[in-house]
């Protein structure tokens, strides 16, 4: 089917508005009530106290570190990335002798795999923003690249290691950034993979540096742990946790430490078996800890994913991989018990260094027909701002808590944030079972959505026409 069956979506029971979300297999239908959900942003004092305690825990995790120099150190890392981008373009003989090129020519000359084209488009716009390349709007061509000189690049690489140390990354991070910068042409052509550089011989040391040991990660992981621990007060059954995209367990470990005296039913999940195997070895002896596969882009169908069965869901640096954030959030909220807590850790700032390294892991797969179908559609970006996350949580049926660290905190600029929502109760949402029954009478099986989620509000996305009013 090419588009949503608009006629069949009229007058659905209890539905005020709908959104037809494509792929990855069959579409999903999000349905919202006639009246918008309550605005749950007025928080009880107890909620604020938990947030304040989490901020104290974050600060304690970085106590003694000099946070004032972080912006300057981040800038040094940005600088190496900018030089690395310019170097790839220059070495491909682009922009030499006054030559002007449009984006298509740049992609052709570099022989970029189609799935990574967005990264090169971002390089071009970033270099323009930084005054190292010029763009002629009338012709759509770029020109006047500031060519990187050998001495400047060597100096920037040395400074990268100083920055790495100051930010609390292990030495393997410098090796990783240098290795990716050196192999960028092959990486962009998909003739080499970042995975092998990030996990050399299956070792997780470099990834741990990226998600655990550095100052911003330490802050958010400990703040997230305090938020989860704050949730346990007063419950009379084991704390039922689901962690998605748990990976190398950089957030899991402080969370398990914070819950050391708590009886747990902790389901550690990831989309990849590689991480489940290493986590079993590392964490497997903790009572109440189980391991399983879970993909945030697919319906949670396994028996352990019963609606309303989880007190807390933790998702650290993974939810941006959702092809449609609203769909993923709606599915997670359905798994939460009333008033259950969703704790996200997300990067909310674009780091140039990622444009020459980690972003290559975030491109769509070669088989995927489309990439993001939400607010990021067609925008060559992966991450959401704190305000966008809060909006997404609100629309999906969560009461958002204040984002941590707060905007004025010295680590806010580093971009790692803890974003929390409490599953909103007391809202009358459409019943997906009734909607499914109505659609069964109107549509043949292949045209029906694969799943239906109730939300509080549907959100428009650029270049999509899949939103409608049902009455
Ligand atoms: C950036 S790592 C973060 C790992 C971990 N949360 C941590 O902080 O140590 C992202 C993780 O998300 C997982 N992931 C990627 N796409 C996913 C998906 N569609 N569903 C579930 N997990 C996914 C990856 O396998 C990886 O382990």
Residue 169 Cα distances to 207, 252, 357, 434, angstroms: 10, 19, 15, 52
Ligand 1 centroid from CA 364, angstroms: 14
pLDDT at residue 34 is higher than 90: no
Region 6-11 average pLDDT: 93
Number of Cβ within a 10 Å radius of residue 378: 14
Residue 41's pLDDT band, with cuts at 50, 70 and 90, is very low
| Tokens (6 digits) for 148 | 């990187």
Question: Cα–Cα distances in Å, from 190 out to 36, 184, 194, 201, 433?
Answer: 45, 10, 9, 20, 44
Q: Which residues of 258-269 are buried (b: 16+ CB within 10 A; e: fewer)?
A: bbeebebbbbbb
Q: Which helix (H) or strand (E) is 313 found in, with range?
A: strand 310-316
Distance 246 CA to ligand 1 centre (A): 6
Question: Angle 277-280-286 (CA atoms, 0-180°, nearest 5)?
Answer: 170
Mutation to probe ligand 1, out of 210, 321, 323, 365 (largest number of atoms < 8 A from CB):
321
Going from the Cα of 276 to the center of ligand 1, the distance in angstroms, rounded, reads: 11
CA distance 398 to 105: 45
For atom 18 of ligand 1, the residue with the nearest CA is: 295
pLDDT band at 45 (very low <50, low <70, confident <90, very high): low
Q: Which domains does the chain have, with CATH numbers?
A: 1-28+428-471 (no CATH), 38-64+214-348+383-426 (3.40.50.150), 67-167+169-212 (no CATH)
CA distance 314 to 225: 10
First to last CA, the chain: 23
> Measured in angstroms, how far is the CA atom of residue 315 from the centroid of ligand 1?
8
Ligand 1 centroid to Cα of residue 245, in Å, is 3
Average of per-residue pLDDT across 271-282: 93
Inter-residue contact 259 to 268 (CB < 8 Å): no
Q: How many Å lie between the centroid of ligand 1 and the Cα of residue 228? A: 19
pLDDT at 47: 83
What is the model's pLDDT at position 71? 85
pLDDT tens digits, one per residue of 48-101: 889 999 999 999 999 999 888 888 888 888 999 999 999 999 999 999 999 999
Per residue in 380-409, pLDDT (tens digit) is 999 999 999 999 999 999 999 999 999 999
Mean pLDDT for the stretch of residues 319-344: 96
Which residue among 294, 318, 344, 371 has the greatest number of ligand 1 atoms within 8 angstroms of its CB, and so is best to mutate? 318
Q: Which of 142, 141, 126 is nearest to 83 (CA)?
A: 126
220-276 confidence digits (pLDDT tens): 999 999 999 988 666 788 999 999 999 999 999 999 999 998 999 999 999 999 999
Residue nearest to atom 11 of ligand 1 (CA): 245
Task: Reply yes or no on whether the pLDDT at 13 is more than 70.
Answer: yes
Lowest mean pLDDT among 154-163, 314-323, 456-465: 456-465
Evaluate whether 166 touches 213 at the Cβ level (below 8 Å). no
- Residues 43, 48: Cα–Cα separation, whole Å: 7
Residues with CB under 6 A from ligand 1: 211, 244-251, 270-272, 275, 294-297, 316-318, 321
Contacts with 288 (C-beta within 8 Å, 6 or more apart), sequence order: 238, 263, 264, 265, 266
pLDDT, tens only, 407-434? 999 999 899 999 999 999 888 999 999 9
- Using the predicted structure, report yes or no on whether residue 170 has a pLDDT greater than 90: no
Global pTM value: 0.93
Per-residue pLDDT band at 36 (split at 50, 70, 90) = low
Q: In this predicted structure, what is the pLDDT of residue 40?
A: 46
Tokens of 317: 């640096």
């Amino acid at each position: 089917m090419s588009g949503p069956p608009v006629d069949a979506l009229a007058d659905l029971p209890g539905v005020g508005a709908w959104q037809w979300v494509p792929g990855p297999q069959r579409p999903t239908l999000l349905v919202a009530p006639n009246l918008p959900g309550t605005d749950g942003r007025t928080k009880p004092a107890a909620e604020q106290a938990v947030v304040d305690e989490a901020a104290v825990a974050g600060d304690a995790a970085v106590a003694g570190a000099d946070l004032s120099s972080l912006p300057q150190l981040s800038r040094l890392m940005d600088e190496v990335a900018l030089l690395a981008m310019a170097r790839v373009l220059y070495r491909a003989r682009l922009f030499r002798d006054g030559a002007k090129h449009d984006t298509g020519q740049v992609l052709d000359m570099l022989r970029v795999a189609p799935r990574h084209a967005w990264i090169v488009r971002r390089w071009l716009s970033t270099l323009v923003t930084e005054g190292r390349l010029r763009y002629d709007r009338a012709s759509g061509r770029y020109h006047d690249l500031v060519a990187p000189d050998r001495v400047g690049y060597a100096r920037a690489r040395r400074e990268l290691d100083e920055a790495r140390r100051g930010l609390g990354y292990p030495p393997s991070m410098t090796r990783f950034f240098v290795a990716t910068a050196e192999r960028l042409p092959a990486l962009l052509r998909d003739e080499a993979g970042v995975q092998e550089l990030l996990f050399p011989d299956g070792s997780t040391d470099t990834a741990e540096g990226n998600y655990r040991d550095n100052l911003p990660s330490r802050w958010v992981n400990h703040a997230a742990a305090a938020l989860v621990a704050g949730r346990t007060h007063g419950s009379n059954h084991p704390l039922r946790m689901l962690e998605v995209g748990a990976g190398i367990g950089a957030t899991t470990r402080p969370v398990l430490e914070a819950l050391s005296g708590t009886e747990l039913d902790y389901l550690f999940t990831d989309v990849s078996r590689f991480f489940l195997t290493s986590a079993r070895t590392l964490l497997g002896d903790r009572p109440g800890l189980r391991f399983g596969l879970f993909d945030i882009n697919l319906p949670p169908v396994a028996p352990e994913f019963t609606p309303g069965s989880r007190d807390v869901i933790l998702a650290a640096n993974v939810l941006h991989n959702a092809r449609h954030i609203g769909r993923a959030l709606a599915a997670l909220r359905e798994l939460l018990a009333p008033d259950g807590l969703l704790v996200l850790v997300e990067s909310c700032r674009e780091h140039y260094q990622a444009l020459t390294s980690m972003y290559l892991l975030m491109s769509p797969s070669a088989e995927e027909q489309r990439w993001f179908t939400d607010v990021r559609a067609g925008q060559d970006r992966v991450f959401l701002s704190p305000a966008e996350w809060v909006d997404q949580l609100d629309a999906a049926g969560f009461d958002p808590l204040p984002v941590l660290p707060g905007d004025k905190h010295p680590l806010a600029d580093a971009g790692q944030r803890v974003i929390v929502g409490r599953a909103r109760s007391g809202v009358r949402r459409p019943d997906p079972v009734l909607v499914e029954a109505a659609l069964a009478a109107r549509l043949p099986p292949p045209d029906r959505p694969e799943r239906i989620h109730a939300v509080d509000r549907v959100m428009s996305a650029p270049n999509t026409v899949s939103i409608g009013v049902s009455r």
